[in-house]
Amino acid sequence: MKCKRCGELAAVKLPSHHAGFCPTCFEGFFKKQVETAVRRHGMIGRDEKVLVAVSGGKDSLALMRVLTDLGHVVEGLHVHLGIPDSSDPVAERTRAFCAANGLTLHVLHTAEHGLAVPDVKDAVRRPVCAVCGKIKRHYFNRFAYENGFAALATGHNLDDETARLFANVLRWDPAYLGTQGPTLPGEGKFVRKIKPLYRLTEFETAAYCFLKGIDHWKAACPYSGGASFTGHKKLIADLEDRSPGQKTAFYEAFLAQGRPHFAGASRGEGQDTLYACAQCGFPSSGEVCGVCRVREQVAAHKARREAV
């Protein structure tokens, strides 16, 4: 198979785009997709600083690399969760990648904020991932806000986004459907959230990482119950396999035709008004935000354990 652009031997076949690309032209294609996403959805303004949420996985590292290559001012934040045998090597690998690529990386330890994830796991009854996700989102946003970043970028790709959309459609969840999209505008102490990779698939991001020599962390978190939406992703992949282009069409048509109908939908009784958390000052639907409540639970649990 030949490259659609230059006629050299192709390295990547993309049925969804009816195309094959050589390594050089594939990188051009990849950057172009990100550029289009950023432009069409007003993700990054002139001279705006962007914080990238860096997990250490392929999507976030690819995102750091490509935004930098496109000339944006980007810094990364890695949230160290304090999980034994997992958090240290992930942080180390992420640091090494950023150092080798001349990228600025900040590392925030949740343990220093009373929220080491193993302690959280012991202290709360809910599934740890729901709480861990909340903690990460809180600190990514807070760090961005407190350090003058205009936007927080995450590595969500087209597969993540279509699977989530499919899940939201199955439940016809108006509040989620009203706000799902590549850009969520900032408001008060919430910075703008952007997903510059939303036009690229998991395969495309993996190929990009391979071709750019991006050595990402591959082991799953020991607490992971498996990736989210695996079943939905499989269904959508089957659909895509039978009619290439369906995935993009489903998502883009939602943005154009579906989402406007759900704009401003209520999150439910008492959930729409946000207050400043009495402890941290960040937006919360109650007097104390979810993260500060978990911190209290962790402290109380520890105190109880030390008492016996």
Partner 1 sequence: MITVTIDGKKPPITYPKIKTVLQLLNNLHLRVNDALIIRDGELLTPDRHLWPGDQVTVRMVVSRG
Specify binding-site residues: 3, 6, 22, 25, 53-55, 59, 79, 155, 160, 277, 280, 289, 292
Please report whether residue 57 would count as binding partner 1 according to CB under 8 A: yes
Pairing of strands 104-109, 73-80: parallel
Is the distance from CB of 151 to CB of 44 less than 8 angstroms?
A: yes
Please report whether residue 223 would count as binding ligand SF4 according to CB under 6 A: yes
> C-alpha dihedral over 170, 174, 179, 181, to 10 degrees?
30
Nearer to ligand SF4, 143 or 217 (CB): 217
Whole-number minimum distance, CB 226 to ligand SF4, in Å?
9
Please report whether residue 280 would count as binding Zn ion according to CB under 5 A: yes
Assign 296 to helix, strand or coil: helix
Nearer to Zn ion, 27 or 252 (CB): 27
Q: Which of residues 99-138 bind ligand SF4 (CB under 6 A)?
A: 117, 128-129, 132-133
Structure tokens at 234: 């499989």
Whole-number minimum distance, CB 33 to Zn ion, in Å?
16
Please report whether residue 12 would count as binding ligand SF4 according to CB under 6 A: no
Whole-number minimum distance, CB 167 to partner 1, in Å?
15
* Per-residue DSSP letter, 47: T
Give the Cα separation of 143 and 147 in Å (integer).
Answer: 6
Structure tokens at 301: 């649990």
Closest CA to 86 of 223, 228, 227: 223
Among 12, 14, 20, 22, binds Zn ion (CB under 5 A): 22
Among 120, 289, 294, 298, binds Zn ion (CB under 5 A): 289
Please report whether residue 89 would count as binding ligand SF4 according to CB under 6 A: no
Whole-number minimum distance, CB 308 to partner 1, in Å?
35
Q: Can you tell me which residue has the tokens 């961005």?
A: 144
Q: Can you tell me which residue has the tokens 């993996």?
A: 206
What's the sign of the alpha-carbon dihedral 122, 123, 126, 131? negative
Among 147, 224, 243, 271, binds ligand SF4 (CB under 6 A): 224
What's the sign of the alpha-carbon dihedral 184, 190, 192, 193? negative
Among 11, 184, 276, 280, binds partner 1 (CB under 8 A): 11
Closest CA to 150 of 105, 98, 194, 102: 194
Nearer to Zn ion, 7 or 222 (CB): 7
Nearer to partner 1, 234 or 305 (CB): 234
Nearer to ligand SF4, 110 or 180 (CB): 110
Give the Cα separation of 147 and 1 in Å (integer).
Answer: 48
* 132 binding partner (options Zn ion, partner 1, ligand SF4, none; Cβ < 5 to 8 Å by kind): ligand SF4
Q: In Å, what is the CA distance from 295 to each residue of 115, 139, 178, 280, 292?
A: 6, 13, 31, 11, 5
Nearer to ligand SF4, 224 or 266 (CB): 224
Question: How many residues make contact with ligand SF4 (CB under 6 A)?
Answer: 9
Please report whether residue 73 would count as binding ligand SF4 according to CB under 6 A: no
Structure tokens at 31: 């950057």
* Sites of contact with Zn ion (CB under 5 A): 3, 5-6, 8, 22, 25, 277, 279-280, 289, 292
